[in-house]
Chains A and B, each alone.
Chain A
Amino acid sequence: MSGRSILKRIDWLSVFIYFALVFIGWINIYSSTFTDEHSSIFDFSTLYGKQLFFIGVSLVTIVVVLALEVNFYERFSSLLYLLSMVSLLGLFVFGKTIAGATSWYDLGFFNLQPSELAKVATALALAKYLSDIQTDIKRRKDQFYALLIILVPAILIIPQPDPGSALVFFAMIFVIFREGLPLYYLVIILSLILVFVTTLMFGTVWLIIGLALLIIILFATKRKTLKIPVIPLSLVSVAVILFSLSVNFVFNNVFEQRHRDRFGLWLRLEKDPKKLEQIRKSIGYNTYQSEKAIESGGFFGKGFLEGTRTKGDFVPEQHTDYIFSTVGEEWGFLGTATVIILFTVLFLRLISLAERQKNAFARMYGYGVISILLIHYFINIGMVIGILPTIGIPLPFFSYGGSGLLFFTILLFIFLRLDTNRLKESF
């Protein structure tokens, strides 16, 4: 296929949103790392200058990604996956430690984060495995293998320690769901989360009362024709209560105080204002400052480079994980809503792109891309605006960081490249 037809067929809406996000992201990195000593935006000793350099690198990479043959990605996905797992393993020996996490290779001019590569590789490998003619996702064995592809990198990443990045891989379960993993897996996961949260918030006693009420309602409203499965129901109830009790046990005995504090802050468990103030000053500091910064932006924001809290460096890690708070302070609700809408449109667009693929590999890879981007976006912004506990993962295309930007770009553009070939069932 010629370069011209690629340009003709590529999904320009996605490309446009990508560039919009990268541009807005860089503007805010500039603002949050800017100091009054004026220097050129191409000054690579500054963080915004470095980020600009990586944007340039990403543009070159886009050209390369689009230029490669479509079937290259499917063919080499297994090898890539293997390579990336090796690179993760290699960290245990050659890794460079930054801020307590051994997640980088020092390449001299730049620190490479192999977990970013692993995200691309895993999405490709999972798509490849699921699209294989011999794979039947209804089979337990195949479900297990699919889960294994996700779990291996996650398990390798957790001890870095970088639990946030590990979490990202679990999001790829969505791909398996899309391809037919029974929905009761999802129901079970969601129920466990629900029981976990309600136990912490209201206690086991209320959970049992709620459960009893639910069963009573079930019996009261049952139709004559419907037979209630009594035995499974009682088994589930017992399991729920046991899980709830074990949550209490784990929370109080296994979790460390900082974990308890995090959940306490998230679920607003701590009612004592003095302790709350204490938590705010320690582990809740980031979230508190970032919420305050966003709040102080109001509807219209304070204006570009006018964010007082941003300038004062009140929000830690503001150019990386907390970049969204800069948007909130300087561009106000108008800015934050714009970013949310851009991401939402991008995701919905990518879903429709994935759904229009004739080729199963392309579709599944598409879902992988969406899952990865979505989980980053959800956890990051949820954390910054204070509705999720603190989990340090970057906002795609936005946060400062070379590896991140580069591999998110590769992740997205491989899919857009596959999409240019959407009419063909196989490559």
Chain B
Amino acid sequence: MRKILLSLIIVVIAITFLGRLSYLQIFSFSAEQVLEDPAIKAIYDYPERGYIYDRNGHLLVGNDPAYDVMVIPREVQPLDTLEFCGLLGIDKEKFVEKLRRARVYSPRLPSVLVPQLSKQDYAKLQEKMRKYKGFYIQKRSLRYYDTPSAANVLGYISEVNEGDLAVNKYYVQGELKGRTGVERYYEDLLRGRKGVQYIQKDRFNRDIGPYKNGTIDTLPEQGKQISITIDKALQEYGELLMNGKRGGIVAIEPATGEILSMISGPTYDPALLVGRERSKNYTKLYNDTIANPTWDRSIHAQQPPGSPFKTLNALIALQEGVLDVNTTIQCYHGFYVGKKKRGCHCGGGLRSLNKGISQSCNAYFAGAFRKIYEKFETTDEGMDVWEKHMKSFGLGDYLGYDLPFGQKGRIPNKEYYDKWYGDNRWSSSYIISNAIGQGEILATPVQLANMTAAIANRGHYFTPHILKKIEGKDITEPKFTEAKHTTIDPKHFEPVVQGMADVYVSGTARWLQIPGIEVAGKTGTAENFTKIDGVRTQLTDHSVFVAFAPVDNPKIAIAVYIENGYFGSRYAGHIATLMIEKYLKGEITLKTLEKRMLEKTLEAEYAKPYSGEEFKINERVW
């Protein structure tokens, strides 16, 4: 017993040690430790972020060098503080405080002393820099915007956060990433791929040479230059017109689905979110929850489309054969739902399809809407057919464009009404508002523009998109280059297009004619409500306008939605018309319209619900 006791202990120790070692080295070991290893530091070589050009090759976004003054506290030698502060443009107290903070962070690692010097300051400082030991200038690259507009489309970049790091292993703390718009959607293209150099460190975090002699290092891959479909001049002009107005404008080239402009009002200068003032500006923009400049109305604002929606109901009625071009419907300056009369501004009388559209007759479309439902035995069947046709225009669902965010809008279906009224407890009379684009229908400006493009193309559309070229080569993605056909036969479009053309000739927008260009359009005036102290209150109608031009071989389809702008032919109609002229002619001949749009704002209108006083709606403004 005594003799084997010690041997036993030795064997037990050996087994314990081997057990612990196999736990550490076999079970706990993971090959990915290289990145966690404190002795290995990855130094990244960041490629320049790709430039963004407009459809005509004009620069929208580039990069600008910025110069940070860095400090490694323990290498700092006594210096002429006063002179140095003068060169840096900061006062002495701030300098001392910054230096102290840098030392607290780490005496051995570089900290930013003064971020983003101007070029002038840099030029002055650069010559004298070698006098100041422990300080150096680090060049960085910042986004530079060659346009004050399109902030909503281009988006912005900012530092990655914890969430990004958890989702995507590519990023490390401190790197930049696209947050919204093109910068986000085409992040991978624009960013390129950073190069990595692994450096062996000692415990003081000093470099002691390359890890594995650099054999696993990689070279950076340049960010791609891209062109987007936006027309810089048109975009800038549209934002100018949006002065003091809230709403969205989306213009699309019908033959390709390319988005020519995408405007949200109010907006902001994209340069505000770059540089020293970035976080101050961001907070300011973000906290403006009333005007909401960071909210892209062109893709987010879901509103009742109003009268432009009539064109689709006309197409469905024609397709279903429930009326023809010559069918007339009596308008009694309104129409009856049961015993209740609903108004109409068209002037009354016998209305055909053409006059129904050009004069925007509510009674005509209420009749047409009823006829669609009367064709089927049950309302449910009618509803299904109607819904199918509507959805084929890209309404009621995400369009699939290449921007990171969006809204579905709403095309109500039978389940929707069953929930409201109960199964079989409703009929077309209940939902008659849908005939004129009110009721339960919601659409975003980009959906309205796409719908207009589909009419312009007489029955098909291309998914709206924002990317045009990558490194000078046109995109070939089938999603964007293949046509999507609506469920309406192309032959039914002509009479509707003719009605829309007559809107400009003799209809609701006859004051907006553009000399030499035949335009087809449709006005819309959408009732809307808000809650003030819990009371449902009606506000001034939204002004809506859709149009495309020229009528034959259309080059541009546009939707304009101006909140509380009253009649469609006012703000929305003006802006759409000016945009069309600007795009097709490159100059403006309608100077009166232009002057009015540049001068008139709706700020007074927007202030009403917050005034706390009684206010009138739908006032005459000009």
Contacts and interface: CB of A to CB of B under 8 A. Distances in A.
A344 interface: yes
A382 B12 CA distance: 13
A333 B26 contact: yes
A314 interface: yes
Contacts of B24: 291, 294-295, 328, 385
Interface in B1-50: 1-3, 5-7, 9-11, 13-14, 16-18, 20-22, 24-26, 28-29, 31, 33, 37-40
A343 B14 CA distance: 9
B20 A340 contact: no
A337 B200 CA distance: 28
B443 to A, nearest CB: 52
Given A308-B200, A311-B200, A385-B24, A296 B37 contact: yes
Contacts of B208: 36, 311-312
Contact of B200 (A174, A178, A312): A312
A341 interface: yes
B25 A381 contact: no
Contact of B25 (A299, A355, A370, A377): A299
Contacts of A291: 24
A308 B211 contact: yes
Contacts of A309: 37-39
Given A178-B3, A291-B24, A298 B38 contact: no
Interface string A296-317: 1111000000101101111000
Nearest to A337: B18
| Interface SS of B by simple majority | helix
A298 B16 CA distance: 18
A374 B21 contact: no
A370 B26 CA distance: 30
A348 interface: yes
Contacts of B5: 177
Nearest to B211: A308
Contacts of B37: 296, 308-309
A381 B19 CA distance: 13
Contacts of B6: 174, 178, 351, 367, 370, 374
B321 interface: no
B209 interface: yes
A36 B29 contact: no
Contact of B203 (A180, A299, A312, A387): A312
A298 B7 contact: no
A251 interface: no
A177 B212 CA distance: 53
Given A299-B25, A374-B10, A387-B16, A355 B38 contact: no
A333 B202 contact: no
B9 to A, nearest CB: 8
A336 B7 contact: no
Interface in A370-392: 370, 374, 377-378, 381-382, 385-387
Given A311-B202, A336-B21, A348 B7 contact: yes
Contacts of B3: 178, 355
Nearest to A311: B200
Nearest to A340: B17
B600 interface: no
A387 B17 CA distance: 9
Given A299-B26, A314-B38, A178 B7 contact: no
A332 interface: yes
Contacts of B16: 387
Interface string A344-363: 10011001000100000000
B582 interface: no
Interface in B414-438: none
B39 A344 contact: no
A308 B21 contact: no
A355 B2 CA distance: 11
Interface in A160-178: 174, 177-178
B39 A314 contact: yes
Given A295-B29, A351-B7, A312 B14 contact: no
A328 to B, nearest CB: 7
Nearest to B2: A178
B201 interface: yes
Contacts of A377: 13
A343 B16 CA distance: 14
Contacts of B25: 294-295, 297-299, 328, 332-333, 336
Contacts of B9: 374
Given A314-B39, A333-B22, A299 B202 contact: no
Given A297-B25, A328-B25, A333-B22, 10 more contacts: A178-B2, A291-B24, A312-B201, A312-B203, A328-B21, A333-B25, A337-B21, A351-B10, A374-B10, A387-B16
The 5 closest A-B pairs by CB, nearest first: A312-B39, A308-B39, A333-B25, A298-B29, A344-B14
Interface of A: 36, 174, 177-178, 180, 183, 291, 294-299, 306, 308-309, 311-314, 328, 332-333, 336-337, 340-341, 343-344, 347-348, 351, 355, 367, 370, 374, 377-378, 381-382, 385-387
